[in-house]
Each structure stands twice: as structure tokens, then as C-alpha cells.
Structure 1
Amino acid sequence: MAAGIGKNDLNHLYAIARRIEMGNKEPIRDVLVEQIFQYSQKIAEEVTKTNENKRMDWDNKLDDILTSRYLGFPIMLAMLGVVFWITIAGANVPSDLLASGFGWLEGKLTALFMWAGAPAWLHGILVLGLFRGVSWVVSVMLPPMAIFFPLFALLEDFGYLPRVAFNLDRLFKRAGGHGKQSLTMAMGFGCNAAGIVSCRIIESPRERMIAILTNNFVPCNGRWPTLILMSSLFMTAAVGTGESITVAALIVVGMVLFGIMMTLFVSWALSKTLLRGVPSHFTLELPPYRKPQVVRTFVRSVFDKTLFVLKRAVITAAPAGVITWLLANITVGEQSMLAHAVNWLQPFGHAIGLDGYILMAFILGLPANEIVVPILIMAYMASGAMLELEDLSALKALFLEHGWTWLTALNVMLFSLLHYPCGTTLYTIAKETKSAKWTVLAALIPLSIAIVVCFVVTQIVRYFGWVA
């Protein structure tokens, strides 16, 4: 008999084997890990002394609630709802102020160009293209990001996000993926490229590939502003002003849930088709709860996430604004290049509840999801809409002038949630997989799903006459 192993230990191991032999449905690995943990805890209790008046073990008590089979998911959804509610409620006013300020500054720049006798094409490129694109990126994106990212960082600092991964772990196992996919998906909420890199923690190549191909279905920081903006402008018309923020927050939560559902569904489909295999297991050790360092977390999230994302958006929006203006002002025949492209895309766009301008915005927005809405705004304004965008209500008026309904906004949200990854993420996928085949599939799979979902939703709504 080996040193350190007594008769009682062998009897204990024999009892475990009997449990498995008698048809216990628990995986043998889970049973062994559970027994090892309980045995280690027993040893710790025997060799350590604690004060009888010690404070309550809050970690265990909180975990009993936050990771509960019955309360874990409702609490998770409630926390997401509160974060979105605060974001939407707090972002409207500063967005309006920034839009008004940039609108005033655009007028002054226009007056300056006229005073200097600058040619119209130079004013168009620099003011109507470059400045307008950058200003709308800042006014639409900065306020919600400046609120959302610090709140999300506080939950991470507190130690709650690993509990979210723990709650989702068993769902990913049932979907044929790896439990660690819940962690990589959580990383995707910040940036899908970072989520792709984090898939390295999954040892199995098959399950790592599943995690890479499905990470795009959770909204990254570039898509949060689009979801929040569309929900705020169009999806709350049927309720009163006081309830609109709550409804908008619930709709964004619903979008997140739908993205998670698509992640699980596509993971299951891939595990049964292209990436068949036996799922592996892992043990997730939950870190202790920590008192959030509010000031430090706020500053870190502003500089590491908000300003980083805004900088990337501005860098990509500047040339995109110029390209959009050029496409709208260079004519081929009697129409601009933008009009030709929009007219060609219009029938397909109408079939899936969008239009040619929206599809062009998503195509030109491939470098970064952050610039899709600003490109769309510039494309609409370049097409002849004589409207000064001074606040979000003016932005809604611009969309309504181009035939938008609540169905259009819903499809923009769905397409933004589900369509192909941004250029940065696709480049990251190519570097991680070292395969052109999987990189192309990483773009085509979500794009196909986005088209199908928007088409089905549009046809159902039109069939029942729920929209004019």
C-alpha cells in the first residue's frame, strides 16, 4: 500500500467507483473533482483553527445566490437590464449636447470656408465628409460608451463576470462546446478580436475552432452604440416617455439573449457537422469577490476601453467619411456612384427589411462596426436630405424621411448583432487559425444567419400586416 493512503481512503475511492458503476449520470471527472474538493476542505478544517465569532462567509453565501440553478439567470438578466437602463437614461442628454455643439461648429467651419473662398469640393471633403463623420462618431458613441464600459468594468472588478461564465458553463457543454467557451464569449462583449485571442485557453483544437467561429454572435463594443441607439429611437414609440427607457433597456437585453442563443445553436450545429467530436471538460475555480475600486476602475475603463474604442472609430471614420462623400458626389452618367450602388442593393435590402443605403453602410463599415451608423447618416444626408442634425430627434427624423419604421430599426439591430465580424476580428481569426478556409467561414456563417433571420422576421411582420 502506498505511503499516505489508508484503508479509509481506499474505501472512499471504492465508494466513488460504485456510484459510477451503478449508473450515476454525473461524469466521472465531475465526481472526482467534487470528492477531491470536499476531502481537501475536510483536511483544512481539521488542521486550522478559526474564531467562533468570525464574520459570515459572504463569498459562499453570495455564490449560493448568484450561481443558483434557479436564481442565477434571472439575476444575470436583471443586472444587464440595470446596466443598459443607466446607459440609455444617461446617454441621451450628452449625445444631444454633443450633436448640437458639433452642428454649431460645422456651421462656423462652413462660414470660414466661404469667407476664404475655398472651392466647394474642398469644403465637401473636409467638412461634410471628414468633420461630419468624425463628429457623429463622437456624439453618438462617446456618451453610451463612457457610461456602459465603467459599469461593466465594476461588475468585472467585483468578481461577478466569472459567475456569469459559471452559469453558462453547463449550457455550452450541452451545445457540444467547451465550458471555457463561456469565458471567451464574455471577453467578446468587450471586443470580438480579444475574444478570439482568448480562445487559446481551450486545449481542444475542435472546441477552440467552435469558440472562434461563434464569438461574433455577442455584441462587441462597436455594436453596443448601434443597439442602444436603435432601441432608444424606434422601439419605444408605443409606450410613454417615462417607460421608454425601461423598454429600450429590455430590448437590448433581449438582443444579448438572442446573441447567446445563436452562439449555443451554432456551436451545437458545428459540433454535429463540420466539427464533430466528443466534448471535453474543465474545472472552473471562481475567484473571490472584491470590493470594487470605483475611481481606479472608472479611470481604467475610460482610458483602456472608451477612449481606445473612440480613437479607433475616429481613425476609421475619417477616411470612411471622405469615401462616402466622394461616392455621393462623383457621378457616372446621371447618378452618383453611391446612388448606383444603392439602387443595385435596394431590391435585396427591401427583401430583408433594410434598404440599399443600410447595406452600403455595413459594407463600408467593414473596418470597424463603430462607423456603420455615421456612414449611414452621411449617405442619407448626401442623397439630398436638407436637414441639420442638431440632436437625436433630428436623427430620427432623418431616418423617417428615408422610409424607416420600427421594423427597419429592428432589422438593423439584428443584422448588426449577427453579421460578419469587423476587419480587425477577421484578421485576428486568420492569424489564430492560419487558415483561409476557416476565416472565410467565420465571415460567411454569421452573414448567412443575419440574412436569413432578417428575411424571416420581415416576411412574418409583413404577412400579418404589423407594419405599413
Structure 2
Amino acid sequence: MLDRGELPMGLTGQSTWLGALKNEYSMNDAVLDGVVIALAGNPNTGKSTLFNSITGLNQHTGNWPGKTVTLAYGNYYYADNKFLLVDLPGTYSLLSNSVEEEVARDYICFAKPKACIVVADATCLERNLNLVLQVLEITDKVVVCVNLMDEADRKKINIDFEKLSAILGVPVVGTNARDGKGIDELMQFVYKVADNQIQAMPLKIKYDEVIEEAVEHLRPYLQNIVKDELDSRWVALRLIEGEWETLDTINSFLKSRLYKNDDLKQELKKANEILQAKYHGTDEIRDAIVSSIVRKAEEISKMVVSFENKRYNEMDRKIDDILTSKTFGIPIMLALLGFVFWLTISGANYPSEIIAKVLFRIEDILTDYCFRWGVPEWIHGALVLGVYRTSAWVVSVMLPPMAIFFPLFTLLEDLGYLPRVAFNLDNFFKKACAHGKQALTMCMGFGCNAAGIIGCRIIDSPRERLIAIITNNFVPCNGRFPTLIALSSIFIAGSFRKFQTVIAALALLGTIIIGVLITLAVSRILSATILKGIPSTFTLELPPYRKPRVGKILIRSLLDRTLFVLARAVIVAAPTGLIIWLMANTTVENLSILKWSGKTLEPIGHLLGMDGYILLAFILGFPANEIVIPIIAMSYMATGSLIEIETLSALKELLIDNGWTYLTAVCTMLFSLNHFPCGTTLLTIYKETQSLKWTAISFLVPTITGIIICFIVAQTIRCCQIMMLL
């Protein structure tokens, strides 16, 4: 049902991402040449594992031209031929309801891969067949990979691959990508399909009589326009359902031939008349098309899948009844998070102390060499006491907790628990007019807020994506954990003689809960003011629980997360150390710039329950939050460089001697939770939004929130203290 009126003129192929696509994927680049194979599939089907198994270490990543969607692509060899495997974003359909669906659809349609591997989950084949059937409407160069056969065998699910292949009209292979089973057979079929050794007869879904009549009416005219470049039946379906975003892209690919054809415009009106006999709008037509695909998937699944155990997923459901229940879901989630924090706190102290001793021993060696070689004192101070000492502090403080926290977090992810976290928090975010997937991006922020910002790409709605980006900083990243852990251990857990690590973990958990509540409150305010809108709906799949792969968890968490974040922090912290040293060693009227700045900020700090040196430490810690406590200690001890406090008791004594109270500690923790993002995170925000406006707002919102909260807490407690004295 076409209700858009005249077909608009589209962009030419040269002015869209198509030109960039050809340059990036189709040219004979020295690294990325070879026969192009696309890899598509639903999320949680083991698609990434299959990609890693095939390509090994020959992998690269990059953003889709003009999109904030990351693609992975890698080379592999088979039968003396070089292939380029492109891992498309995981998607449930190709109906262009999200950026991921749009990218996957456009690549399959317009990049013209020699073959397309569609990965399906053997434990829920019916749902995955929806995507398979949609891909078959676009191209016949398809190999269906039914993955996770180990899970299917464990649940006693049997699949007749020969029958499924006969029904779909394309090769079907069962694989277990984790163990590499079935990979060779899959590559053999991919090679044959790409080399035109297999002439596929792909299944084409038959829709109701009205839709089929309209499609067949348009096909002859479309065939003259699209030639052999696209499937005329698929284009006809997009025309009658009014999928204009897809049609605009098709028109660009065809260099405006679709919208310029006057004969087609006339035939579209006749197709409209045919459709009006049954349908009253494009939404009804789209629903009818989707329903037909779903019914066909159900029909095929019943024909090829059999269950030895009808209650194969009963255990998963029983576990979900507990983990996602209204009564136990949230408490269990908090208990797990608290346990992770306790392990991180109790396990990080000793290795942190060892690393600090090693690194500062290297500093002593560097100092000895500087004196031997006659290096000027100011160069030694700037490079060794400034740059190196700051970097050493960041490494010793960040590495141990990250090496514990990231593997534990990855373990929960590998088990399949994180989607349950999103499910439990979805209702809260919905009430805040935000997106349920924001819970996942918030969890990513615990490790690194920059990673959480990148994770916001999974949110389809631009409005809700911006809300998630702006509020991601309200959960503390790994760089702020040292400050929160130290202060909670000193001023809260320090009052107890026993179970101090447990009390510190509970205090940290309470801080996290406050951060989540602030996230929800600020999300609600944003959605009612500068980012008004109605919350969107989304499909959240709860994947089956799986046995964690400990080896891969350690490698992925240590290499991809821990060392990556650590290296970035060091790169940012090193020049900051130089700046701090210069401020501490440059005097104006017998007063260092560092002390002068602290005294200048003192009135503002007092209003917020802190002091000027604390505020200065947060400002100088803009590149790396890990150095906030060292800067405070350095300022109090009037040293010209960052210092290392060997024990928490020594740090407590130093802070108390400089006027710290429980109010100071609480306000410092609150401000650490609510203040501007670090430099790396802000740069990431700018890259994701491409907007200075939203980057500035992301800076101001948490900062203003922290100022307001600290001011209210400080003045309230002081008023209470005065009233008690009276």
C-alpha cells in the first residue's frame, strides 16, 4: 500500500556509503583481498566464535562507512584460494528496524559477497529460520550453518540436515564452533557455492493471493530496471510494504533508475488498487509479510526438528524463574555484584603492593642512572618523578583490580547472566522513559565508561542512545574504584574490627546502588526535557545458560579489556604527571601553583563538604581518575611529585591530620561518583555523537548533579550538627 505519493529522487551511488564500501571491501587491498564471504546470524548463535575459529588471528575491525557499527573481517585460505570473511552485526531480521539490521541487509544486498553464511542456533532453530528465510529472498548464494550442536546434543535435540537442506534449497551444515567440529565441511560448501559448483534452488515464501498478485504485477517492470543486480521479487515486496528507507538505498545502488522510471510509477498505482481490496495501509501489509515468514519458519522447524526430551530446557526455565523473578531477581543481582566487589577488594591489595614495590624499585634505578650520568635535576624530576611515577601509580593501582574484575564480569557474560540483568532492570528504565538495554551499557561502564559509551550502539533509538551516553558516567569505572575502595575501607569499614573487607564491599555496593538510582532519575529528567519521547520496545533474548570457557575468558578479559584499558590510561596519565610536577615545582611569590590553586578553590570545596585540594585533584585527574588520591596526598604533604602511601592506615592518618571527617569522605565519594567524565570517555562521546553539543552536555550533567548532591548533603549534615549542639 503506497501512501508516500511521488517517489523522491535518491542520492547517487558515488555520494553514499556505497563508494566507501567498494573501496574498503571490494578492491584488491594488500591485506583485505580475496573472495568475499558474508557471515550473518542472530545474536547468541556463536557467530563470533565461528568467525574466530575460521579466521584465527588474521582479523581486523572497522566501522561501517557512515555508521557507528563495528564490523570484524579476516582472511582465511581454503583449496589454495584466499577468502575474506566479513562478520556482520548480529540481527534478528533484515527489516531495517535498527542500524544493525540495516547494515546486515545492505551488505548482503549491495556488497555482492560470493556467498553468505547464515548462522542459526540448533537449540532454537524455529526462531533463527526467520532470518534464513529473509536472506534467501535476497540471494541464492547461501550456506546455512546450524551451530551449537553440542548444546543441542546435550538437550537431546535432533535435526534432519538433509531434509532441511532439501526444503530450503541450499546447503545446510551442523557445526560446533567451540570445538571446531563441522568447520571443514562448512568451508567446503562455501567454496563450492562461491565457485558456482552448486546451483541452489532457494525456497521462496508464498504470501497470500493479494500480495502475490501485486508482486507478480510489478516484477516484469522491475526486472527491466534492476536487471541482474538485485532480485526483482524482493524489490517488489519492499515497494508494496512501503519500506522507504530500504527503497532509498536501492535507488542509490541503481543510480536513481528506480525513482526515475515513469512506467513503474503507473504500475505502482495499479498495484495499490490490487492491495486495497484487502489491506488498509502499509502496516497491515508488513504484518502480513512478517506473519507469513514466521508461520513458514514454524512449519519447517516442525518438519526437521525432533526432541527426545520434550522438557529439554526445563532446567533453564527453573533457573530463570528465580533469577528473573520479581522477588529474588534484584536481590540475587545485588548479591552477585557485591560478591564480585568483595573478591576485587580482598584480592587486589596484595598484588597491587607487589607491583608498586617493583615499579618504584625501577624508579630508584632510574634515579641512580640520572645521578650517574649527570642528568639535570629538573629533567629527572619531570620525567622520573612526574611522568614515570604517575604512570607507575596508575599501573599498580589499576592492574590488580581490573585483572580480577574483568574476568569475573566476563564469566557472568559467558554464562549468559548479563541479559538477565537487563531483564530485571528493564521495567525501571522503562519507567524512566529510557531503554532496557541501557542496563547492559551501564554494566559495561563498571569496567570503563568509554567502553560503556561504545556499548550504547546496541540501543536503536537515537534519543534513548543519547540518554544512555549522557548518564553512563553515573556508574563508577575502574579508575574511580581505587578512590571509592580506599575511602570506604578507611572511613566506613575502618570503624569495624571484623569483616572489614565485607563492610567495604557493602559500602561500595551501596555507592553503586546510589549511582543506579541517580542514573534512573537523571534519565527521567532528560526524557522529560531536552530528550522528550516515548520509550521504544525491543526484543531481549535470554540465551541458554552455557558452560563458561575459562581459557578464552581469561584471554579475552586480560587482552581485550584489561591491558587495553590500562594502556590507554597510562597514555593519558603520563603527560598529566608532567603537568602535576610542573605545578608543584613552579612557585609564584613563594607559593607553588599547586598550593595556590588549592587555596583558590577552598571556598567552593568547603560548600561542597570538601576542600580546595580535593577539587583540584578531581580537575587534575581529568585525564585519569586513578590519580585523584595521589594528588590529594601530594598536596597535603607539600611534595614536588606524586607519592605512594604504603598502607591505608598511613593514608587515613594523613587525611585526618588535614581536616578530613566522615562528611569529607562521604562528599568525596559522592563527587567521585558524580562528576565529569575522564578525557578518554569524553573523546569517545564526541566520536560516537559527532557533536560538541552532546559532548558538552555529557560533561555538564554529571558535574552539576555532583555539585547539587554534595552541596545538599554537606549543608544538611552541618545544619543537623548545629541543631544538636544547640
Q: What displacement does 1:111 show?
A: 4.7
Aligned to 2:522: 266
Aligned to 1:361: 617
User: In 2, are the aligned partners of 1:99 and 1:391 still within 8 Å (CA)?
Assistant: no
TM-score (norm 2): 0.55
Distance 1:246 1:37 in 2: 51
* 1:166 maps onto 2:423 in alignment: yes
Q: What displacement does 1:328 show?
A: 0.8
TM-score (norm 1): 0.84
Aligned to 1:69: 326
* 1:222 maps onto 2:497 in alignment: no
Q: Judging changes above 3 Å, is the alpha-carbon distance between structure 1 residues 105 and 270 closer, same or farther for their aligned structure 2 residues?
A: same
Deviations 1:85-112 (A, max 9, x none): 1111111222233334444444454455
Distance 1:77 1:409 in 2: 24
Distance 1:123 1:210 in 2: 46
Which of residues 588, 610, 613 is equivalent to 1:332?
A: 588
Q: Which protein has the larger Cα radius of gyration, Structure 1 or Structure 2? A: 2
* 1:435 maps onto 2:691 in alignment: yes
Aligned to 2:141: none
* 1:182 maps onto 2:439 in alignment: yes
Aligned to 2:377: 120
Aligned to 1:93: 350
Distance 1:163 1:271 in 2: 25
User: In 1, are the aligned partners of 2:634 and 2:643 still within 8 Å (CA)?
Assistant: no
Distance 1:100 1:387 in 2: 13
Aligned to 2:174: none
Write the letter of the residue equivalent to 1:438.
W
Could you list the runs of 5+ residues in structure 2 that have no partner in the other structure?
Answer: 1-206, 210-289
Q: Judging changes above 3 Å, is the alpha-carbon distance between structure 1 residues 38 and 189 closer, same or farther for their aligned structure 2 residues?
A: farther
Aligned to 2:503: 247
Alignment of 1:146-157 (within 5 A): 146-157=403-414
Q: Judging changes above 3 Å, is the alpha-carbon distance between structure 1 residues 189 and 42 closer, same or farther for their aligned structure 2 residues?
A: farther
Q: Judging changes above 3 Å, is the alpha-carbon distance between structure 1 residues 224 and 351 closer, same or farther for their aligned structure 2 residues?
A: same
Write the letter of the residue equivalent to 1:186.
C
Which of residues 678, 682, 687 is equivalent to 1:426?
A: 682
Structure ranking higher in helix proportion: 1
Distance 1:185 1:39 in 2: 38
Write the letter of the residue equivalent to 2:451.
A
Structure 1 counterpart SS, 2:629: helix
Deviations 1:169-198 (A, max 9, x none): 111111111222223223322322232233
User: In 2, are the aligned partners of 1:133 and 1:378 still within 8 Å (CA)?
Assistant: no
Structure 1 counterpart SS, 2:721: coil
Structure ranking higher in strand proportion: 2
Structure 1 counterpart SS, 2:698: helix
Q: What displacement does 1:146 show?
A: 1.4
Which of residues 194, 197, 214 is equivalent to 2:451?
A: 194
User: In 1, are the aligned partners of 2:386 and 2:641 still within 8 Å (CA)?
Assistant: no
User: In 1, are the aligned partners of 2:437 and 2:458 still within 8 Å (CA)?
Assistant: yes
User: In 1, are the aligned partners of 2:584 and 2:640 still within 8 Å (CA)?
Assistant: no
Which of residues 327, 346, 350 is equivalent to 2:602?
A: 346
Alignment of 1:301-340 (within 5 A): 301-340=557-596
Structure 2 counterpart SS, 1:236: helix
Alignment of 1:401-420 (within 5 A): 401-420=657-676
User: In 2, are the aligned partners of 1:270 and 1:276 still within 8 Å (CA)?
Assistant: yes
Distance 1:150 1:142 in 2: 12
Q: Judging changes above 3 Å, is the alpha-carbon distance between structure 1 residues 383 and 268 closer, same or farther for their aligned structure 2 residues?
A: same
Q: What displacement does 1:447 show?
A: 0.3
Deviations 1:122-146 (A, max 9, x none): 3322332223212221222222121
Could you list the runs of 5+ residues in structure 1 that have no partner in the other structure?
Answer: 4-32
Alignment of 1:78-89 (within 5 A): 78-89=335-346
Q: Judging changes above 3 Å, is the alpha-carbon distance between structure 1 residues 456 and 38 closer, same or farther for their aligned structure 2 residues?
A: farther
Distance 1:130 1:440 in 2: 29
Q: How many residues align?
A: 436
Provide the aligned C-alpha RMSD in A. 3.2
* 1:293 maps onto 2:549 in alignment: yes
Aligned to 1:445: 701
Distance 1:465 1:45 in 2: 72
Q: What displacement does 1:49 show?
A: 4.0
Distance 1:269 1:221 in 2: 27
Which of residues 267, 284, 289 is equivalent to 2:540?
A: 284
User: In 1, are the aligned partners of 2:625 and 2:678 still within 8 Å (CA)?
Assistant: yes
Q: What displacement does 1:259 show?
A: 1.0
Distance 1:443 1:381 in 2: 31
